[in-house]
Amino acid sequence: MVFLESYLHYYSKNVLKSWFQGDPLNETKYIFNEFTYKENEYNNENIIFEYCIVKNNEYNSIDYSWSDLIGNGIDTINPTYEELRKKNINVISVVDMVILDNNKPKYFFEVYNTNKVSSVKLEKLKRSGMKNLYEIDANYIMRLCGKPNTLKYDKLI
């Protein structure tokens, strides 16, 4: 399976990530009160793109990061859909972005251009026990000329 994404989708995810990360020289790092997280104590890779969702008897990437599941818990690991399929690991879905709180997944984001999250994907994620899934319009992100004071989103789960 090949994932193709438009420039709009790609850059809007990166802009969204930059809003959450903030500027290291700026004291107001977290500008959205509804989204708080504690940074990973080992590195600053708290925001991960194209995060595979797996929940079975062996893996639970909703409650634990891939770094904890298949790594040493220190180095950031984010296996691709293809890598997991080659290991016969059934991927439920792939979300655009996840924010880790102390190296545990806390907020899941889908950025959309024309197609919102499908009801089939949403139902799969609900059944798997996901909480805190948000959907944000890529056009809204890219129309802004700076960081907004409040983030416009739809909470799906």
Q: Who contacts 63 (Cβ-Cβ below 8 Å, separation ≥6)?
A: 104, 105, 129
Average pLDDT over residues 37-43: 69
Average model confidence (pLDDT) across the chain = 88
pLDDT for 5 equals 80
pLDDT on residue 15: 94
**46 pLDDT more than 90:** no
Percent of the chain predicted with pLDDT > 70: 89
CA torsion 112-94-120-153 (nearest 10°) is -40
Q: What confidence tier does 44 reach under pLDDT thresholds 50, 70, 90? A: low
CA distance 45 to 14: 13
65: nearest Cα among 57, 55, 56, 76:
76
